[in-house]
Amino acid sequence: MKRKRIMIIGPTNCGKTTLANALNDYRGPLRKAQDIIYGKNTIDVPGSYIENTWMYKHIIAAAQDASHVLMLIDQSRCVNVYSPGFAKAFRCPVVGVITKVDLMAENEEFCFKQLKQIGIVEPYYKISVPSRIGIDALKEYLFFKKK
């Protein structure tokens, strides 16, 4: 049986690779790519896959190897790239993650509304990788929660 990983999806520059590196305990240079990257614990999906609806089928297919799907929304730049109800396309748990919470606090409520529209139920995780805000709580949920 294949080992399940955590899939991370979101728009370009929302912090997907930075979060993947944190979840993989990788401290090296940032590695950007145009294709899906399978890490130690993660599946890092490029932003272009979610920004182009014709690529959704590739995301859904790759999610078969996922224990969880993290859908990221960047609080500093609230662009709405997800189709309404998109979270319902996945068979594994879908977790809403608001990134860069140390920036533009006035956008928080808009981010919550987006996550609800996508079809993700609370709790939502609010994180900032550089500031280490919320990372431990997210790791606890993903890696240590009783299944």
| Distance of alpha carbon 72 from alpha carbon 118, whole angstroms | 11
103 DSSP assignment: S
| Distance of alpha carbon 83 from alpha carbon 99, whole angstroms | 19
Q: Is 11 exposed, middle or buried (0-12, 13-18, 19+ CB in 10 A)?
A: buried
Assign residue 70 the CATH number of its domain: 3.40.50.300
Give me the pLDDT at residue 24, please. Answer: 92
Give me the pLDDT at residue 75, please. Answer: 96
Task: Give the helix/strand (H/E) hosting 51.
Answer: helix 47-51
Buried b / exposed e over 71-86, threshold 16 CB at 10 Å, is bbbbbbebeebbeeeb
Query: Domain for residue 115, yes or no?
Result: yes
Query: Domain for residue 146, yes or no?
Result: no
Query: Domain for residue 103, yes or no?
Result: yes
| Distance of alpha carbon 55 from alpha carbon 53, whole angstroms | 5
The SS3 assignment for 124 reads coil
- Residue 58: which residues within 8 A CB-CB, separation 6 or more? 36, 49
Give me the pLDDT at residue 2, please. Answer: 64
Asked whether the bond before 46 is cis by omega within 30 degrees of 0, the reply is: no
Cβ(73)–Cβ(106) below 8 Å? no
Domain holding 54, by residue range, is 5-141
30: tokens are 């940032």
Query: Domain for residue 122, yes or no?
Result: yes
pLDDT tens digits, the chain, 147 residues: what are they?
467 899 999 999 999 999 999 999 888 887 677 889 999 999 999 999 999 989 999 999 999 989 999 999 999 997 888 999 999 999 999 999 999 999 999 999 999 999 999 999 999 999 999 899 999 999 999 998 755
Counted domains in the chain: 1
Query: Domain for residue 147, yes or no?
Result: no
Give me the pLDDT at residue 146, please. Answer: 57
